[in-house]
Structure formats: structure tokens, C-alpha cells
Structure 1
Amino acid sequence: MTTQRFPLPDVGEGLTEAEIVEWRVAVGDTVAVNQVIVEIESAKSLVELPSPWAGTVTALLAEEGTTVDVGTAIIEITTDAPAGAPSDAPAAAAEETSGEGSGSVLVGYGTGEGAGGGRRRRRAAAPAAEVEAKRPTSMSGTSTSSARLDVDAPAPAPAAPAAPTIEKPMASVPATPGSSTTRVLAKPPVRKLAKDLGVDLASVHPTGPGGIVTREDVVAHAEGAAPKALATYPDDDQPWLASGTVSQDGRQTRVPVKSVRKRTAEAMVASAFTAPHVTVFQTIDVTKTMKLVARLKEDRDFADVRVTPLLVAAKAMLLAVNRHPQINASWDEAAQEIVYKHYVNLGIAAATPRGLVVPNIKDAHTLDLLGLAKAIATLTSTARAGRTQPADMADGSITITNVGIFGTDTGTPILNPGEAGILAFGAIRRQPWVHKGKIKARWVTQLALSVDHRLVDGELAARYLADVAKVLEDPARGLVWG
């Protein structure tokens, strides 16, 4: 028998770290080859990792919720193979992962091209023995166990005499939170309670005689630091505060920036300060589009898909790309080249409980209206379930974001990195509109197109947006342009 350690592999994004989301096995479980053992979160996707060996789980080396580097061992499995057998190969190969994402790749996930490196986040918890070794020495009194106090104090100099026994709590200096010379008086049961609640005794304000930290002090401090509802938000509508820490006065909650929110922030900052954005706007009458949507909802072929104005807008974008292919491009800074794409991978911005993701429909230009409707439905349901894979978000060419679903008229969208255009589709409202020389109530919306001005001049942006608008104003035009 031999013990194998499975290193965290690069799942095909070129990242250097990932978060352990959920273990699917426990110590003592028997696992088979390719059995899912853990779910990890990397960038904007959740990925299930299979076991490369059959055997018994002897140790889980990383806790749920921690972030570990690629190549770091995360699980220990005892197999029947003798030491040095070929079963060592998967682990050895995974340990060769380089910082550039060119190392080992988990079977079933291709190596991503051009993916950026990961960022340092919270490290996995140190082994218990190491933590114990680093724990500061404490002095304890010699009175009866019910009255004995433990005192935290700075380590004495090597030549200093042994610490004196504490007989009277009043002779000790009261705790002063935040001081480098803090001495904390507390009975052993209170210290155990603080440890169980994750409370640092040095930060607790003592109210007992002589500066003793009491049980009530620890409980009050823990309750004050626990996540709580804020006066400005409904109690049942703030799941994003669950992982945060509330200030003692209850006026602030601090939540670590991680996962999707962190990656989205990085991408948006990089895009905003790399590509010079220009946004053009157009207000249009989409009454005919609304009539088409109503007819399609009654069509037997579209009975199993959701038909919305967004579907028509997406089709209009594809038709306009065919007329203005220059907008379907990207800027390669390293090679100093413009890359014109002969395909359209249409990105759909999707708001999910985990944050904003932008998966794209591969080769969307080859789909008819029904095929496009099915693709959008699959893409959005997968994104909201948190199952979008890295490949689904790679190599996008142009994106649409439906801000109108939230009642917003329009906005100035930020480009998805690596793309030259993004269209914001605003809310559709009944408004007065001049139609055939008369003022009538019509369905009206606003479009906003942001482009990378390095690639797209103002004229091209205006012409492209005008063609999208023409199809939305009269969807029959798509029969001629298609």
C-alpha cells in the first residue's frame, strides 16, 4: 500500500489558485477513479475535480472556504499500489504546474489561452501542530481551579526570572485592547468560551473586578461582531452580508472581496483604463418588435422557449455585425495587431447570486431565431445555477446587457475585456411618439452602444447602432438582411 497526495490542478484557465467550496468525501471514505471528490471555485465558475486513484481517503489537507495554490496537495488517498508504482504519475504531473498556467491540466479541461494569473487570497489553515507551536506562552495562577486566572503577557527576555504566581487579580494591569503590552485576566472557562466563539480576548472590554474579562463580556463582544441586519436594508434581503463582520457600533459591515466580485472588479478596471470607451445612444420605436414577440409566444415552435424583446435585439446585433464586420474585432496589445474575427460569439451579461458573469453563445451567427432562443435560455439558466464553465466565457466577440429588465432606461456599459462593442438594451415603455404625423402611444426604448475607440471610430459605431435600431423598429428588415 502507498499514500498518494493529490495536488490542486490547473483546470484549464491558467490560474494559480482556487477556493475549496465543498468536499464530496470524508476521511475514511472509499473512492474510485474519476469519482468526484471536491468542488472548487476558480475565476467565475464552479468545477468538480475527480479522483485520479482508487483507495481510501486518509486526510483532507485543505478546509472548505480556504484558497490554495495550484500544485498544493489538497487530499491524501491510500491506494493498494506499491510505493513508486505508476499511480504516482498524476500527482507528480500536477506538481509541475508553472506560474504561467502552462503546467498540468486536469483531464477533461483544455488549457485556456491568454488567461490571466490568479490573485493571492486567504491561505489554507496551518496544521494544528504548527499553530500550537506558534501559540504564545501563558502564565497561570496556583489558587483553586474555580478562582485561577490565566494572564497573556509578552514573552520574557531569555535571562528573565520565572514568571511570578498571580495571587490577586487587582494587582494586574487591566486589559487595554490594541496595546502591544496587553495583559488579559480571565478564568479558564472564559478563555475556552472565547476560543469557541472566535473572540480575541485582547479586544474585549473587561468589566469584572480588577480588570477581569467575564463570560458576559465575551458573549457581548461576540454578539456585537456577528453579522446583523442594518437599519437601511430589509432583514430578509441581504444574503451578501452573511460572510461579513459588523463593527461594534453596528453601523458598518465589512465583507471580504473574493470570488466573482473580485474577478469582475479586476476585469472592469482593466477594461475601463485600457480601452478608450466611447458610447453612442439612440431612442427608437419598438412597437413592431413587441407585436412580433406577442405572435411568437403563440407560435407552436416557440412553445418551449422564453420569447422576449432581448431575443430580437440579439438577432438584430448579429445581422448588424454581418453588415459591419469591423466591429467584431479585438486589440492585441502584445503583438500590436487588430484581430478581426470571422465568427460571432455573442456574450449575454447575466446577473447571478454570485455576481455578474458574461458567458457567450459560440458561433451565434449560424443560429436561426429559434436556435438563438434556446441558446440564450440554456446559457442564462446555467449561469444562474453557478455552473458556467471557463470555456463558456472565453473568446467572446461582442456583448449585450439587458439593463431594461431592472426598469433602467439606459446606461454606459463597460466593455467585456477583449471585445470591441457592448450594447445596453433599456426598458421598453409606452410613451407619446410621433407616428405617421400624429402623436400616439408607442412602445419606446433606448439603446446605448459602448465601443473601443482604438478599433471603432464614431462613424462605424453610429452606423452599427443605427442598423440594430432599424431591425428593432421593423423586424421584417431582418428577412432582407439575413
Structure 2
Amino acid sequence: MPEYKQFPLADTAEGLTEAEILGWKVQPGDEVKVNQIVVEVETAKAAVELPIPWAGVVTELLVEPGQTVEVGTPILTVDVDPAGTGGAPTADAGAPAANGAVPNGAGGEAAASSAAESDEMKPLVGYGSKATSTKRRPRKASAGSAGSNGATSGGAPAQPQGVAPEPAQPAQPVPDVPAQRGGYVPLAKPPVRKLAKDLGVDLRSLAGSGDGGVITREDVRRAVEEPPQPATAAPVEAGTRERRVPIKGVRKATAQAMVESAFTAPHVTEFLTVDVTPMMQLRQKLKSHPEFAGVKLTPLAFAAKAVCLAAKRTPEVNSLWDGEAGEIVFKDYVHLGIAAATPRGLVVPKIRDADAMSLPELARSIEELTATAREGKTTPADMLNGTFTITNVGVFGVDTGTPIINPGESAILAVGAIRDMPWVVDGELAVRKVMQLSLSFDHRVIDGQQGSEFLADVGALLSDPAMAITF
């Protein structure tokens, strides 16, 4: 006898409340194993692949790609006992023995094995100790009892308890909508979906009266009595040159974080223009060094190293204002965030303990980090608990800007484009490689003197990398 379980959308990172379904890795009828990846979702922090904690056969995809659902909402139904070995006798298994035992102990052994397997299963990330129970429902041995899927053993739909029988209707069966097809997918629980299918009601034509627009049994019955009028789309002006895109996922999270930061921390931004010709010469020289073989050594790597060195002399830039505790928290490590533009929006993955890395290690980490971010594979854990951020606007040919501090940090450095510009060297005019830097900092934590000293140190290290031996 089949046993169905619903797979809920998990909380993949602390504080997340919703996620968008990006794509399914399985389809109805597919067999799945424990911890197999079944769906890719986009949260407010990143795209994440979710594993399923049970083995079985997929029976229904409850949400289509592109739909945003709240954490805890069922998104997939799995038959965890497709072979019908849950302990109840099947049609050809014969009657149970007089003592109630299943012949040969097959059903009991299967149930015990399944229970033991379930007890040993570890909770997956985001499920915690409140994972869906793996205990089997008690079943009656009667041939007329209802199965867990709401149908009798004879195959006729089971009437919901406490509900008066519906008047006979000329049912028009609604074909199942393929899960991969685009368009609106109504929110409704499996029993309601079954009732609608039995009564020939298209759920897509209904407006749910439940919380969050969920379609209820009453909505389905009301549709049978009074068929709804087809919804008409809002008139669109011919030749319109506008389009609307829902605010969700990474874009929504970025907007909320930036607004919170801009109106919480008093921002101050300072600017510095530096001659980085010596840095560019050293970069060219290091490319032939064996230690840098296969390393993509960029100006951003030099800036990252300069920030880590300068932060030791001005620890305020690597601290945090804790208003609730009335404290300033100084960090003795640098978890360096690198702002990366991706097709889904701006993300800021972190390089853990960047201050303990050498220049080639930083260069490799930056390359791996940005490549992963552009592929949308950055995990939520990789974007938490940063202490300082660098945004490289120079890669877009921009000279500088006034960056907004990331929440939970006190400063952010913008690195501009490197340009050939006239510069005075030893009293003479020359063409040099010039870069602009801008530092935004939280004036509650960092005074103007401290911010200026830090920015000057970063500039000195980029204009003359030999200064690093003095830090």
C-alpha cells in the first residue's frame, strides 16, 4: 500500500523565510534515494540545491519553477513505500494468519527495516530536530479501509470525513499540468487537489480564500455551484515599451540590506588617487615567478593584500558596532568580502582568514570565489560573517564611487579603473598608471583620522609595494 510524504521547503540559512524554485532535478515517476538532490532554489542569499531525506518514487511536484514559496511549504510528494510493503496485506498476499501475523513475516520485517533505517537517518541542513516523522501510520487490515492516499482499496475516491456527499456532477477530468510547464500554479493541499480533480474543477481558475491565497475545499465546492468567470488580464497599451520584473531573491535581499545600512550607519566617504605604476611593474615581474604559475594575478589581489596589512594598523575598520550590547566588537581576523556581479544580482562571498594568506593564495581564492558566484553556486554560509568588503568597480571601467557598507561591517573599499594619466614624478611630468580609491566607513566606529590613515596606508602599499616590509 503506498505511503505518501510531503517534502517541505527547508530553511537553508538562518532567518530566511522564502525561496524561489529555480528548477526540478526530478519528475513524477522518478525513483529517488536518500540525500539525492531533487530541486534547486534561490534564496535571498544564493542558489541552493536541496536533498531529500527519504527514498521512494516522486508522485507529484507541487510547485512550478519560477514560483516563490514560504519556508515549510510542501513542494514535492514522494511515495516512500511504492512496493506496498508497509505491513498491510495486498490483494494477492492472502489473508493474515489467525494470530494476525503476515505470512513469512515479510511485511513486519520490511516495516522494522524501514523504521530502523529511518531512525539512523541524520537530519539534513535546514530540517533540524523537527524533521517529518518517519513512523508509519496505523492501518486497518480491512479490505474496505482507506489508504494513505485517500482512496479505497477498490480504487474509488474516498469521501473526506465529516463532509456531506457532493451532488452528482458531469465531471470533466482535468488533465495533470506538467511540472516543467511555465505559468501560474495554484496553492492547494493534496486533498484539495484531489477533490478538485474528482469534481472536474480547474484550480487555476480559482482565487484562494485561505491564508496566503491557498485554495480550500470550500473554494472548490463553491466553484461547482457557481462556475467562475474567466479572469481577464489588465488592458495593455499597444506598443508598450515597458516590462515589469518581480522583486525577489538576491535582488530583494540586496535592496533591504542596503536600505537598512544607509539609514542605520552614518556613512562617510573619502577618496584617494594613487600612482600604481610600481605595483603594475611588480605584477608583470611576478607572472614569471614559479610560485605564481597558473595564478591569475589581478590588481584586486594586490588591493586585498593591502587591506589586510593596513587593517592591522587601524583595527577600527575591521570592527563592528553592536548597538544592543552597547559595545564595539573588534575582530582579530579578516573575513574579506569580494562584491561580485552575477546574473541574479550582487552577492558578496567571503574569503575566510584572508589576513593569514599570502599574495598567491589570495589571488587563487579571489578567482575561485568570483567564478563560483557567477555560476550561482555560492552557498549561504560563504556569504555570512564578513568583516570588511572590497568592491571592484574598476572592472567596469569606472573610476570610483561611494559604496554602501555591508550590514554587520564598518567599512568598504571601492577600487577604480587603472588609467594612463599625466603625473608629476620628481618634479617632471610623466605618463603613469593611476587608480582612484574610495573608502566608506561608519562614523560611529571610525573617526575621520582613523579612516584617513587606513586609506593612506592602502594607497601607500599600492603605489609602492615595498612598503609592505615596514608594516
TM-score, reference length from structure 2? 0.71
Is the contact made by 2:420 and 2:434 (CA closer than 8 Å) also made in structure 1?
yes
Alignment of 1:16-415 (within 5 A): 16-80=17-81, 82=86, 86=115, 125-127=186-188, 129=196, 132=202, 135=205, 201=232, 203=234, 248-415=238-405
2:378 partner amino acid? T
Query: How far apart are 1:12 and its partner, in Å?
Result: 2.7
- How many aligned positions are there? 365
User: Aligned in 2, Cα 1:104/1:65: closer, same or farther, shift over 3 Å?
Assistant: farther
Distance 1:53 1:105 in 2: 11
Corresponding residue of 2:425: 435
Contact 1:330/1:338 (CA < 8 Å) preserved in 2? yes
Contact 1:12 1:105 in 2 (8 A): no
Q: Which moved more, 1:43-52 or 1:385-394?
A: 43-52
The answer as to whether partners of 2:186 and 2:204 remain within 8 angstroms in 1 is no
1:125-166 Cα shifts (integer Å, max 9, x gaps):
234639747958xxxxxxxxxxxxxxxxxx9xx9xxx9xxxx
Q: Secondary structure at the match of 2:430?
A: strand
Q: Does the aligned pair in 2 maintain the 1:347–1:361 contact within 8 Å?
A: yes
Deviations 1:264-305 (A, max 9, x none): 111111111111100111111111011011112222321212
CA contact (8 A) 2:424 2:430 kept: yes
Q: Is the 8 A contact 1:67 1:124 kept in 2?
A: no
Give the gaps of 5 or more residues in structure 2: 88-110, 133-182, 207-221
Cα distance change of structure 1 residues 105 and 416 upon mapping to structure 2, 3 Å threshold: farther
Q: Secondary structure at the match of 2:312?
A: helix
Cα offset, 1:7, TM superposition: 1.4
Q: CA deviation at 1:19?
A: 1.3
The whole-number CA distance in structure 1 between the counterparts of 2:43 and 2:320 is 25
* 3-state DSSP of counterpart to 1:75: strand
How far 1:454 moved relative to its partner?
A: 0.8
> Contact conserved, 2:417 with 2:435, CA < 8 A, in 1?
yes
Write the letter of the residue equivalent to 1:34: N
Return the letter of the residue paired with 2:368. T
Distance across 1 between alignment mates of 2:285 and 2:348: 29
Using the TM superposition, give the Cα deviation of residue 201 of structure 1 relative to its aligned residue in structure 2, in angstroms: 4.4
Q: Deviations over 1:48-104 (max 9, x none)?
A: 11121111111111111111221111111112363897478899x89x97xxxx885
SS in 2 for 1:409: coil
Find out whether 1:449 has 2:434 as its counterpart.
no
CA distance 1:272–1:423, shift in 2 (3 Å): same
Distance 1:312 1:133, change over 3 A: closer
**Cα distance, 1:44 vs. partner?**
2.5
> Does the residue aligned with 1:382 lie in a helix, a strand or coil?
helix
Question: Structure 1: where are the runs of 5+ without partners?
Answer: 107-121, 137-154, 163-183, 185-194, 205-224, 226-246
Whether the 8 Å contact between 1:408 and 1:427 is mirrored in structure 2 is: yes
RMSD in angstroms over aligned alpha carbons? 3.2
User: Is the contact between residue 68 and residue 124 of structure 1 (CA under 8 Å) also seen in structure 2?
Assistant: no
Summarize the Cα distance change of 1:381–1:202 in structure 2 as closer, same or farther, 3 Å threshold: closer
1:10 paired to 2:71 = no
CA–CA distance in 1 between the matches of 2:423 and 2:268?
28
| Counterparts of 1:402 and 1:375, CA distance in 2 | 15
Looking at structure 1, the residues matched to 314 and 185 of structure 2 have their Cα atoms a distance apart, in angstroms, of: 50
The letter of the residue matching 2:68 is: T
Residue 415 of structure 2 is aligned with which of 403, 417, 425? 425
Q: 1:13-39 CA distances to partner (integer Å, 9 max, x unpaired)? A: 331221111111111111111111111
In 1, the alpha carbon distance for the partners of 2:66 and 2:40 equals: 11
CA contact (8 A) 1:425 1:448 kept: yes
Tell me the distance in 2 between the aligned counterparts of 1:30 and 1:406: 47
Partner AA of 1:254 in structure 2: R
Cα drift, residue 425 of structure 1: 0.7
d(CA) in 1 for partners of 2:234 and 2:433? Answer: 60
CA distance in 2, matches of 1:464, 1:389: 31
| Structure-2 residue corresponding to 1:236 | none
Identical residues among aligned pairs (%): 51
SS in 2 for 1:275: coil
Q: Is the 8 A contact 1:430 1:442 kept in 2?
A: yes
Query: 1:358: Cα distance to partner?
Result: 0.7
Distance 1:365 1:105, change over 3 A: farther
| Equivalent position SS for 1:262 | helix
Shift of 1:375: 0.7
Q: Can you list the C-alpha shifts for 1:416-458, whole angstroms capped at 9, x where unaligned?
A: 1111110111111111111011111111111100001111010
SS at match of 1:253: coil
* Partner in structure 1 of residue 146 of structure 2: none
**Counterparts in 2 of 1:12 and 1:362: CA distance versus 1, 3 Å:** same
